[in-house]
Protein backbone atom coordinates (compact mmCIF):
# COMPACT_ATOMS: atom_id res chain seq x y z
CA UNK A 1 0.00 0.00 0.00
CA UNK A 2 2.80 2.35 0.95
CA UNK A 3 4.61 1.60 -2.34
CA UNK A 4 1.49 2.48 -4.31
CA UNK A 5 1.15 5.77 -2.45
CA UNK A 6 4.79 6.61 -3.02
CA UNK A 7 4.47 5.70 -6.70
CA UNK A 8 1.39 7.89 -7.01
CA UNK A 9 3.26 10.80 -5.44
CA UNK A 10 6.65 10.46 -7.07
CA UNK A 11 5.78 8.57 -10.24
CA UNK A 12 4.78 11.67 -12.28
CA UNK A 13 7.89 13.50 -11.04
CA UNK A 14 10.16 10.62 -12.06
CA UNK A 15 8.42 10.29 -15.42
CA UNK A 16 8.80 14.01 -16.07
CA UNK A 17 12.47 13.86 -15.13
CA UNK A 18 13.03 10.92 -17.48
CA UNK A 19 11.25 12.70 -20.34
CA UNK A 20 13.23 15.88 -19.68
CA UNK A 21 16.47 13.91 -19.67
CA UNK A 22 15.54 12.20 -22.93
CA UNK A 23 14.82 15.58 -24.48
CA UNK A 24 18.02 17.23 -23.30
CA UNK A 25 20.27 14.41 -24.44
CA UNK A 26 18.56 13.40 -27.64
CA UNK A 27 20.17 14.37 -30.97
CA UNK A 28 17.21 16.02 -32.70
CA UNK A 29 17.00 19.76 -33.32
CA UNK A 30 14.18 22.29 -33.18
CA UNK A 31 13.55 25.83 -34.42
CA UNK A 32 16.62 25.96 -36.65
CA UNK A 33 14.92 26.43 -40.03
CA UNK A 34 12.22 28.94 -39.10
CA UNK A 35 12.74 31.81 -41.55
CA UNK A 36 10.38 34.05 -39.65
CA UNK A 37 12.47 33.51 -36.56
CA UNK A 38 15.66 34.27 -38.53
CA UNK A 39 14.15 37.57 -39.64
CA UNK A 40 13.24 38.54 -36.08
CA UNK A 41 16.64 37.48 -34.74
CA UNK A 42 18.62 39.31 -37.43
CA UNK A 43 18.01 42.67 -35.74
CA UNK A 44 17.54 41.51 -32.15
CA UNK A 45 21.16 41.60 -30.92
CA UNK A 46 19.94 39.73 -27.81
CA UNK A 47 22.42 37.94 -25.58
CA UNK A 48 20.73 34.59 -26.19
CA UNK A 49 21.25 34.93 -29.93
CA UNK A 50 24.88 36.02 -29.61
CA UNK A 51 25.80 33.31 -27.09
CA UNK A 52 23.85 30.57 -28.85
CA UNK A 53 24.15 28.78 -32.17
CA UNK A 54 20.77 27.37 -33.14
CA UNK A 55 19.30 30.50 -34.76
CA UNK A 56 22.15 32.70 -36.00
CA UNK A 57 24.18 29.81 -37.39
CA UNK A 58 21.35 28.40 -39.47
CA UNK A 59 20.40 31.85 -40.74
CA UNK A 60 23.94 32.61 -41.91
CA UNK A 61 24.40 29.09 -43.28
CA UNK A 62 21.37 29.65 -45.52
CA UNK A 63 23.20 32.43 -47.38
CA UNK A 64 20.23 34.76 -46.89
CA UNK A 65 22.01 36.90 -44.29
CA UNK A 66 25.37 38.66 -44.08
CA UNK A 67 26.98 38.87 -40.62
CA UNK A 68 27.61 42.44 -39.42
CA UNK A 69 29.98 42.17 -36.46
CA UNK A 70 30.23 45.18 -34.17
CA UNK A 71 29.02 46.57 -30.87
CA UNK A 72 26.60 49.23 -29.65
CA UNK A 73 26.56 51.28 -32.88
CA UNK A 74 24.51 48.51 -34.52
CA UNK A 75 21.67 49.05 -32.05
CA UNK A 76 21.00 52.66 -33.05
CA UNK A 77 18.42 52.46 -35.82
CA UNK A 78 18.13 55.51 -38.09
CA UNK A 79 17.05 55.90 -41.74
CA UNK A 80 20.69 55.33 -42.75
CA UNK A 81 21.38 52.20 -40.71
CA UNK A 82 22.61 49.32 -42.93
CA UNK A 83 19.52 47.22 -42.18
CA UNK A 84 17.21 50.07 -43.20
CA UNK A 85 19.05 50.87 -46.43
CA UNK A 86 19.24 47.20 -47.43
CA UNK A 87 15.51 46.72 -46.90
CA UNK A 88 14.36 49.99 -48.48
CA UNK A 89 16.41 49.64 -51.63
CA UNK A 90 15.94 45.86 -51.98
CA UNK A 91 19.63 45.03 -51.80
CA UNK A 92 20.66 41.44 -52.46
CA UNK A 93 21.77 41.08 -48.83
CA UNK A 94 20.17 41.35 -45.40
CA UNK A 95 22.39 42.20 -42.41
CA UNK A 96 22.39 39.86 -39.42
CA UNK A 97 23.49 42.13 -36.57
CA UNK A 98 26.03 40.37 -34.36
CA UNK A 99 26.99 42.72 -31.59
CA UNK A 100 25.69 44.69 -28.64
CA UNK A 101 27.02 47.21 -26.11
CA UNK A 102 30.16 45.57 -24.70
CA UNK A 103 30.90 43.00 -27.39
CA UNK A 104 34.55 43.13 -28.46
CA UNK A 105 37.03 40.96 -30.31
CA UNK A 106 36.96 37.97 -27.92
CA UNK A 107 33.18 37.74 -28.12
CA UNK A 108 33.21 38.31 -31.86
CA UNK A 109 35.82 35.60 -32.37
CA UNK A 110 33.86 33.02 -30.38
CA UNK A 111 30.76 33.79 -32.43
CA UNK A 112 32.74 33.75 -35.66
CA UNK A 113 34.45 30.41 -35.07
CA UNK A 114 31.10 28.87 -34.11
CA UNK A 115 30.04 29.31 -37.75
CA UNK A 116 32.96 27.15 -38.88
CA UNK A 117 32.94 26.41 -42.58
CA UNK A 118 29.55 28.12 -43.00
CA UNK A 119 31.54 31.32 -43.54
CA UNK A 120 33.89 29.74 -46.07
CA UNK A 121 34.23 31.97 -49.12
CA UNK A 122 31.53 34.36 -47.87
CA UNK A 123 31.62 38.04 -46.93
CA UNK A 124 31.18 39.82 -43.61
CA UNK A 125 31.26 43.40 -42.35
CA UNK A 126 33.24 44.14 -39.18
CA UNK A 127 33.10 47.45 -37.31
CA UNK A 128 36.18 48.18 -35.19
CA UNK A 129 35.61 50.60 -32.31
CA UNK A 130 38.73 52.44 -31.09
CA UNK A 131 37.40 52.51 -27.53
CA UNK A 132 37.73 48.71 -27.31
CA UNK A 133 41.49 49.13 -27.23
CA UNK A 134 42.02 50.03 -23.59
CA UNK A 135 45.10 48.53 -21.97
CA UNK A 136 43.50 45.36 -20.55
CA UNK A 137 41.12 44.70 -23.43
CA UNK A 138 37.53 43.69 -22.75
CA UNK A 139 36.39 44.39 -19.20
CA UNK A 140 35.19 41.60 -16.95
CA UNK A 141 31.54 42.72 -16.86
CA UNK A 142 31.28 42.83 -20.65
CA UNK A 143 33.10 39.53 -21.05
CA UNK A 144 30.83 37.83 -18.52
CA UNK A 145 27.68 39.17 -20.18
CA UNK A 146 28.42 37.57 -23.55
CA UNK A 147 30.64 34.61 -22.69
CA UNK A 148 29.30 31.43 -24.28
CA UNK A 149 30.07 28.10 -22.62
CA UNK A 150 28.52 26.38 -25.63
CA UNK A 151 30.80 28.06 -28.16
CA UNK A 152 33.88 27.58 -25.97
CA UNK A 153 33.28 23.91 -25.22
CA UNK A 154 32.55 23.25 -28.90
CA UNK A 155 35.80 24.92 -29.96
CA UNK A 156 37.85 23.00 -27.38
CA UNK A 157 36.43 19.58 -28.33
CA UNK A 158 36.97 20.05 -32.06
CA UNK A 159 40.71 20.67 -31.85
CA UNK A 160 42.87 18.07 -33.57
CA UNK A 161 46.07 20.01 -32.95
CA UNK A 162 46.96 23.06 -30.89
CA UNK A 163 48.12 26.18 -32.72
CA UNK A 164 49.52 29.45 -31.40
CA UNK A 165 46.04 30.88 -31.88
CA UNK A 166 44.55 28.18 -29.66
CA UNK A 167 47.20 28.63 -26.96
CA UNK A 168 46.69 32.40 -26.94
CA UNK A 169 42.91 32.04 -26.70
CA UNK A 170 43.11 29.50 -23.87
CA UNK A 171 45.42 31.72 -21.83
CA UNK A 172 43.24 34.74 -22.51
CA UNK A 173 40.06 32.99 -21.41
CA UNK A 174 41.71 31.72 -18.25
CA UNK A 175 42.27 35.34 -17.22
CA UNK A 176 38.53 35.68 -16.55
CA UNK A 177 36.97 34.47 -13.32
CA UNK A 178 33.77 33.27 -14.96
CA UNK A 179 35.71 30.73 -17.02
CA UNK A 180 37.57 29.44 -13.97
CA UNK A 181 34.30 28.71 -12.17
CA UNK A 182 33.73 25.84 -14.63
CA UNK A 183 36.19 23.19 -13.45
CA UNK A 184 35.96 21.03 -16.58
CA UNK A 185 36.46 23.94 -18.91
CA UNK A 186 39.30 25.32 -16.79
CA UNK A 187 41.18 22.00 -16.95
CA UNK A 188 40.69 21.76 -20.72
CA UNK A 189 41.94 25.29 -21.26
CA UNK A 190 45.00 24.67 -19.11
CA UNK A 191 45.93 21.72 -21.32
CA UNK A 192 45.44 23.77 -24.48
CA UNK A 193 47.45 26.67 -23.05
CA UNK A 194 50.37 24.25 -22.65
CA UNK A 195 50.06 23.18 -26.29
CA UNK A 196 48.31 19.88 -25.45
CA UNK A 197 44.95 18.52 -26.53
CA UNK A 198 42.36 17.99 -23.80
CA UNK A 199 42.25 14.46 -22.38
CA UNK A 200 39.70 11.93 -23.63
CA UNK A 201 37.88 12.07 -20.30
CA UNK A 202 37.70 15.87 -20.46
CA UNK A 203 36.33 15.71 -23.99
CA UNK A 204 33.70 13.14 -22.98
CA UNK A 205 32.52 15.33 -20.11
CA UNK A 206 32.57 18.39 -22.39
CA UNK A 207 30.37 16.65 -24.95
CA UNK A 208 27.86 15.94 -22.21
CA UNK A 209 27.82 19.67 -21.42
CA UNK A 210 27.54 20.56 -25.13
CA UNK A 211 24.50 18.34 -25.59
CA UNK A 212 22.73 19.97 -22.65
CA UNK A 213 23.78 23.49 -23.69
CA UNK A 214 22.52 22.88 -27.22
CA UNK A 215 19.12 21.90 -25.84
CA UNK A 216 19.05 25.00 -23.63
CA UNK A 217 19.93 27.09 -26.67
CA UNK A 218 17.09 25.63 -28.70
CA UNK A 219 14.61 25.93 -25.84
CA UNK A 220 15.42 29.40 -24.59
CA UNK A 221 17.08 31.34 -27.41
CA UNK A 222 13.77 32.97 -28.34
CA UNK A 223 13.35 34.45 -24.87
CA UNK A 224 14.13 38.16 -24.87
CA UNK A 225 14.11 38.28 -28.66
CA UNK A 226 13.35 42.00 -28.92
CA UNK A 227 13.52 42.42 -32.67
CA UNK A 228 14.12 45.88 -34.10
CA UNK A 229 12.25 45.10 -37.31
CA UNK A 230 9.41 47.49 -36.45
CA UNK A 231 11.94 50.30 -35.97
CA UNK A 232 13.57 49.38 -39.27
CA UNK A 233 10.22 49.53 -41.08
CA UNK A 234 9.38 52.91 -39.53
CA UNK A 235 12.75 54.41 -40.47
CA UNK A 236 12.47 52.98 -43.97
CA UNK A 237 9.39 55.15 -44.59
CA UNK A 238 11.51 58.29 -44.18
CA UNK A 239 13.68 57.51 -47.20
CA UNK A 240 13.01 58.53 -50.81
CA UNK A 241 11.88 55.84 -53.25
CA UNK A 242 15.05 56.06 -55.35
CA UNK A 243 18.55 55.84 -53.93
CA UNK A 244 20.56 58.97 -54.61
CA UNK A 245 23.60 59.49 -52.41
CA UNK A 246 23.65 63.28 -52.76
CA UNK A 247 19.97 63.67 -51.89
CA UNK A 248 20.31 61.23 -49.04
CA UNK A 249 23.29 63.16 -47.70
CA UNK A 250 21.24 66.37 -47.73
CA UNK A 251 18.47 64.56 -45.88
CA UNK A 252 20.99 63.21 -43.37
CA UNK A 253 22.25 66.75 -42.74
CA UNK A 254 18.73 68.03 -42.10
CA UNK A 255 17.86 65.18 -39.76
CA UNK A 256 21.18 65.50 -37.95
CA UNK A 257 20.85 69.27 -37.55
CA UNK A 258 17.42 68.94 -36.00
CA UNK A 259 18.44 65.98 -33.84
CA UNK A 260 21.44 67.79 -32.30
CA UNK A 261 19.94 71.24 -31.84
CA UNK A 262 20.33 71.57 -28.06
CA UNK A 263 24.14 71.43 -27.82
CA UNK A 264 27.31 72.54 -29.60
CA UNK A 265 28.95 69.10 -29.71
CA UNK A 266 26.83 67.54 -32.45
CA UNK A 267 25.42 65.03 -29.96
CA UNK A 268 21.86 63.71 -30.25
CA UNK A 269 19.52 65.81 -28.12
CA UNK A 270 18.22 63.09 -25.80
CA UNK A 271 21.66 61.61 -25.21
CA UNK A 272 23.05 65.04 -24.39
CA UNK A 273 20.17 65.94 -22.07
CA UNK A 274 20.25 62.75 -20.03
CA UNK A 275 23.83 61.47 -20.26
CA UNK A 276 26.02 64.56 -20.75
CA UNK A 277 24.46 67.80 -19.53
CA UNK A 278 24.01 66.84 -15.84
CA UNK A 279 27.76 66.05 -15.58
CA UNK A 280 29.19 68.25 -18.29
CA UNK A 281 31.86 69.94 -16.19
CA UNK A 282 33.16 66.56 -14.96
CA UNK A 283 33.93 65.56 -18.54
CA UNK A 284 36.17 68.56 -19.17
CA UNK A 285 39.75 67.28 -19.79
CA UNK A 286 38.68 63.89 -18.32
CA UNK A 287 40.10 61.82 -21.20
CA UNK A 288 43.46 63.53 -21.62
CA UNK A 289 45.37 60.43 -20.54
CA UNK A 290 43.30 57.87 -22.46
CA UNK A 291 45.33 55.87 -24.95
CA UNK A 292 44.19 53.24 -27.46
CA UNK A 293 47.64 52.47 -28.91
CA UNK A 294 48.72 49.82 -26.41
CA UNK A 295 46.24 47.09 -25.63
CA UNK A 296 45.62 43.34 -25.33
CA UNK A 297 42.75 43.99 -27.70
CA UNK A 298 45.17 44.04 -30.66
CA UNK A 299 45.95 40.38 -30.01
CA UNK A 300 42.31 39.54 -29.32
CA UNK A 301 41.52 41.12 -32.68
CA UNK A 302 44.14 38.87 -34.28
CA UNK A 303 41.94 35.91 -33.33
CA UNK A 304 39.27 37.35 -35.62
CA UNK A 305 41.72 37.80 -38.49
CA UNK A 306 43.01 34.26 -38.08
CA UNK A 307 39.48 32.83 -38.30
CA UNK A 308 38.62 34.90 -41.37
CA UNK A 309 41.79 33.72 -43.10
CA UNK A 310 41.14 30.11 -42.08
CA UNK A 311 37.78 30.12 -43.88
CA UNK A 312 38.86 32.40 -46.76
CA UNK A 313 36.18 34.84 -45.65
CA UNK A 314 36.30 38.33 -47.12
CA UNK A 315 35.72 41.18 -44.69
CA UNK A 316 35.09 44.88 -44.95
CA UNK A 317 36.45 46.65 -41.86
CA UNK A 318 34.89 49.95 -40.82
CA UNK A 319 36.77 52.19 -38.37
CA UNK A 320 34.57 55.00 -37.01
CA UNK A 321 35.94 58.32 -35.78
CA UNK A 322 35.36 59.81 -32.36
CA UNK A 323 33.38 63.04 -32.20
CA UNK A 324 36.01 65.77 -32.70
CA UNK A 325 34.25 68.54 -30.80
CA UNK A 326 33.69 66.22 -27.88
CA UNK A 327 37.30 64.95 -27.88
CA UNK A 328 38.52 68.57 -27.80
CA UNK A 329 36.40 69.15 -24.70
CA UNK A 330 37.46 65.94 -22.95
CA UNK A 331 41.10 66.19 -24.00
CA UNK A 332 41.09 62.90 -25.91
CA UNK A 333 44.03 63.15 -28.31
CA UNK A 334 43.13 63.05 -32.00
CA UNK A 335 46.84 62.51 -32.70
CA UNK A 336 46.66 59.36 -30.58
CA UNK A 337 43.60 58.24 -32.51
CA UNK A 338 45.39 58.69 -35.82
CA UNK A 339 48.26 56.59 -34.48
CA UNK A 340 45.77 53.95 -33.38
CA UNK A 341 44.45 53.94 -36.93
CA UNK A 342 47.96 53.49 -38.27
CA UNK A 343 48.57 50.51 -36.00
CA UNK A 344 45.30 48.69 -36.66
CA UNK A 345 45.43 49.26 -40.42
CA UNK A 346 49.01 47.94 -40.48
CA UNK A 347 47.82 44.81 -38.69
CA UNK A 348 45.13 44.44 -41.35
CA UNK A 349 47.01 45.29 -44.53
CA UNK A 350 50.22 43.43 -43.68
CA UNK A 351 48.18 40.22 -43.51
CA UNK A 352 46.16 40.78 -46.68
CA UNK A 353 43.03 42.47 -45.31
CA UNK A 354 42.77 45.47 -47.61
CA UNK A 355 39.04 46.23 -47.59
CA UNK A 356 39.06 49.05 -45.04
CA UNK A 357 36.82 52.09 -44.59
CA UNK A 358 38.85 54.22 -42.19
CA UNK A 359 36.86 57.26 -41.06
CA UNK A 360 39.12 58.39 -38.23
CA UNK A 361 39.83 61.66 -40.08
CA UNK A 362 36.09 62.47 -40.23
CA UNK A 363 36.06 63.50 -36.57
CA UNK A 364 34.80 67.05 -37.33
CA UNK A 365 32.42 66.13 -40.15
CA UNK A 366 28.99 67.56 -39.22
CA UNK A 367 26.37 64.95 -38.29
CA UNK A 368 28.77 62.10 -38.97
CA UNK A 369 28.34 60.90 -35.38
CA UNK A 370 25.14 60.51 -33.42
CA UNK A 371 26.80 61.04 -30.06
CA UNK A 372 30.37 60.88 -28.74
CA UNK A 373 31.52 57.60 -30.32
CA UNK A 374 28.77 56.11 -32.49
CA UNK A 375 28.24 56.50 -36.23
CA UNK A 376 25.33 58.76 -37.01
CA UNK A 377 23.28 59.89 -39.98
CA UNK A 378 26.04 60.90 -42.40
CA UNK A 379 28.42 58.37 -40.91
CA UNK A 380 26.27 55.39 -41.81
CA UNK A 381 25.61 56.87 -45.23
CA UNK A 382 29.37 57.21 -45.81
CA UNK A 383 29.84 53.62 -44.66
CA UNK A 384 27.18 52.53 -47.15
CA UNK A 385 29.38 53.77 -49.99
CA UNK A 386 31.73 50.93 -49.02
CA UNK A 387 29.21 48.34 -47.79
CA UNK A 388 26.96 48.19 -50.86
CA UNK A 389 29.65 47.65 -53.52
CA UNK A 390 31.59 45.27 -51.28
CA UNK A 391 28.56 43.04 -50.74
CA UNK A 392 26.84 43.34 -54.12
CA UNK A 393 29.83 43.16 -56.47
CA UNK A 394 32.32 40.38 -57.09
CA UNK A 395 35.66 41.10 -55.45
CA UNK A 396 38.91 39.16 -55.96
CA UNK A 397 39.70 36.63 -53.26
CA UNK A 398 42.56 38.09 -51.20
CA UNK A 399 45.68 36.18 -50.22
CA UNK A 400 46.16 36.17 -46.48
CA UNK A 401 49.50 36.07 -44.66
CA UNK A 402 48.73 35.40 -41.00
CA UNK A 403 51.54 36.22 -38.56
CA UNK A 404 51.62 34.92 -34.98
CA UNK A 405 53.66 37.99 -33.99
CA UNK A 406 50.38 39.83 -33.51
CA UNK A 407 49.60 37.63 -30.49
CA UNK A 408 52.68 38.88 -28.63
CA UNK A 409 53.04 41.53 -25.95
CA UNK A 410 55.65 43.16 -28.18
CA UNK A 411 52.93 43.93 -30.71
CA UNK A 412 50.42 44.99 -28.06
CA UNK A 413 52.97 47.50 -26.74
CA UNK A 414 54.53 48.57 -30.03
CA UNK A 415 54.57 52.31 -30.62
CA UNK A 416 52.80 53.06 -33.93
CA UNK A 417 55.48 55.67 -34.66
CA UNK A 418 57.94 52.79 -35.15
CA UNK A 419 55.80 51.10 -37.80
CA UNK A 420 57.13 51.67 -41.31
Is 159 contained in some domain?
no
Is 165 contained in some domain?
no
Higher pLDDT, 34 or 190: 190
Is 356 contained in some domain?
yes
Is 197 contained in some domain?
no
Mean pLDDT taken over the chain: 92
Is 147 contained in some domain?
no
Read off the pLDDT band of 20 (50, 70, 90): very low
- Sign (positive/negative) of CA torsion 168, 98, 246, 379? negative
Average pLDDT of span 364-383? 97
Q: How many domains does the chain have?
A: 1
Is 42 contained in some domain?
yes
Q: How far apart are CA 352 and CA 346, in angstroms?
A: 10
Is 330 contained in some domain?
yes
- Residue 219, pLDDT score: 83
Is 208 contained in some domain?
no
pLDDT digits (tens, 9 = 90+) for 47-104: 999 999 989 999 999 999 999 999 999 999 999 999 999 999 999 999 999 999 999 9
CATH number at residue 91: 3.40.50.1110
> Which range of residues forms the domain containing residue 80?
2-138+226-253+282-418
pLDDT digits (tens, 9 = 90+) for 287-327: 999 999 999 999 999 999 999 999 999 999 999 999 999 99
Amino acid sequence: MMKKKLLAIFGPVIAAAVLLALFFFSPFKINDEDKGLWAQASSSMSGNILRGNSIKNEAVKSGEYVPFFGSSELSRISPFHPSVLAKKYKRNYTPFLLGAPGTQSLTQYMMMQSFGSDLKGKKVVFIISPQWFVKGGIKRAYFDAYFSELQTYTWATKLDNVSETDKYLAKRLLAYEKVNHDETLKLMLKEIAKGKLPTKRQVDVARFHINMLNREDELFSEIGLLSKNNQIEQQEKKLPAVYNDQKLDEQAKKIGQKATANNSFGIENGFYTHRIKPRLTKFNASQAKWDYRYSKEFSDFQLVLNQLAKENTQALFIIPPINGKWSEYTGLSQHMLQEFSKKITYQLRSQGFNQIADFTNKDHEPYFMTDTIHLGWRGWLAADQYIQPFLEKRTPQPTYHIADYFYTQDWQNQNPATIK
